[in-house]
Amino acid sequence: MTTWSEFCDRIAALGEGLDDEGQRHLANQVACWLTYSIGHNDPRHPAFFRSSDPVYQWGGPNADQVARRTAIDGDGVYRISGQMGACEEFVLQVKLGATQSGGAGVGLEVTGSSLGIGPGDEINIWLGGEERNDGLGSWLPLDPEASFVHIRDYYFDWQPAEPATFVIERLDTVGEPKPDVDAAAILSTALGEIEHSFDFWNGYQERMLCDQPPNTFLPPAGMGRGVKTLIYSHAGVAIDADQALIVDIDHRGAAMWDIQLYNRPWYEALDFTNRLTCLNHALIEPGPIVIAGCDPGGSNWLDTEGRDSVLCTIRWWHPPGTPVVEAKVVPVTELDLPPVDRQTQIARRSSHIAWRYRT
């Protein structure tokens, strides 16, 4: 049984010796996982929790998506409904095992497009129970070991428009009252997630990059914890204030891709609301992708926020061939890029983010 004093003592131990960014990350984890364990960890009364957004930062969040999850039972019957709005695609995964601690396998993964659902459409998906063929939506089976549903909805064009709405209901427990509050269980669940997440992501980049030289990208490959249809490439970027990293990508026919910067070591997204820290296939303009700490001109600048070191992650959605990434460090003074209206660029992004995360 985890008591409040034990919870506080173990969080205090995690916080020893952290700098300001580390303390903020730990506070973020506490807020995130307490919220999850208090209101979104009951599979008999599910409710989606937005587990990755401009507030909750952990695990390399994708600036083009909203991530949400809720606990479920493998023997339950659920309905997911809503509206797509401006959402261009979503990925629904049924996970097996713990949310973070101990890992979670993927029991099922489908996309909105594979279910015939696109921007502006209604969403009707049934999970578990008897197979349905009534034409009123899509039915998906549940693995007996299913433990939570994870939905990622994607926005590539970054327009100020209504985002997707996802609602989940359990159909075989309608009218069942919620159990009495179990404070010890809430604290125990949250503490397990906080401690595991804090340790796992603190060392993740070092394990992933290993001996990879700075400013070079790992060969594109899949990752077991992410979306199965995506492949990724990562680079530790370390450049001086008067340098820039030029990134040249042969996408090999990938229809959708993105590139994004993160802090080290916590794998939090750099500020994508008020700065230019990410690009994708819909936002890029003609010209090179330039990573630098100061504005070099050109449309495709990725802002390191002046940090000495950042992580750069590239994602591709099921490309027909393996992409090729090349990068080189150059002096900023060698660049000859046209000036750009940065305020207009940022205003577009900020307006979209305000709409996407409006509630």
CA distance 281 to 304: 20
Helices 4-15 & 20-39, crossing angle to 10 degrees?
150
The CA distances from residue 114 to 110, 173, 218, 339, in Å, are: 7, 29, 30, 41
Where are the extended beta strands (E) located within 24-64?
A: 49-52
- Per-residue pLDDT for 100 more than 60? no
Confidence (pLDDT) at 357: 95
CA distance 315 to 232: 5
The predicted model gives 147-164 an average pLDDT of: 96
The band of 174, judged by pLDDT with boundaries at 50, 70 and 90, is very high
Q: At the topology level of CATH, where does 211-356 sit?
A: Jelly Rolls (2.60.120)
* 324-331 and 243-250 strand pairing: antiparallel
Chain-wide mean pLDDT for the chain?
A: 94
The CA distances from residue 279 to 74, 141, 288, in Å, are: 38, 36, 12
Residue 50 in 3-state DSSP?
Answer: strand
Give the tens place of pLDDT for each residue, 65-88: 999 999 999 999 999 999 999 999
- Per-residue pLDDT for 226 more than 80? no
Q: What is the DSSP letter of 54?
A: S
Residue 194 in 3-state DSSP?
Answer: helix
Considering the chain, tell me which residue range(s) the CATH 2.60.120 domain(s) occupy.
Answer: 211-356
CA distance 290 to 297: 9
Strand order in the sheet with 243-250: 301-303, 289-292, 243-250, 324-331
* 278-280 and 256-262 strand pairing: antiparallel
CA distance 352 to 330: 33
The band of 115, judged by pLDDT with boundaries at 50, 70 and 90, is very high
The band of 51, judged by pLDDT with boundaries at 50, 70 and 90, is confident
Burial of 5 (0-12, 13-18, 19+ CB in 10 A): exposed
Confidence (pLDDT) at 291: 98
- Per-residue pLDDT for 359 more than 80? no
The predicted model gives 283-308 an average pLDDT of: 96
Confidence (pLDDT) at 102: 55
Where are the extended beta strands (E) located within the chain?
A: 49-52, 65-71, 78-83, 89-97, 104-111, 122-127, 138-140, 146-154, 165-170, 230-238, 243-250, 256-262, 278-280, 289-292, 301-303, 309-317, 324-331
Give the tens place of pLDDT for each residue, 31-42: 999 999 999 999
Confidence (pLDDT) at 225: 62
Q: What is the DSSP letter of 288?
A: -
- Per-residue pLDDT for 103 more than 90? no
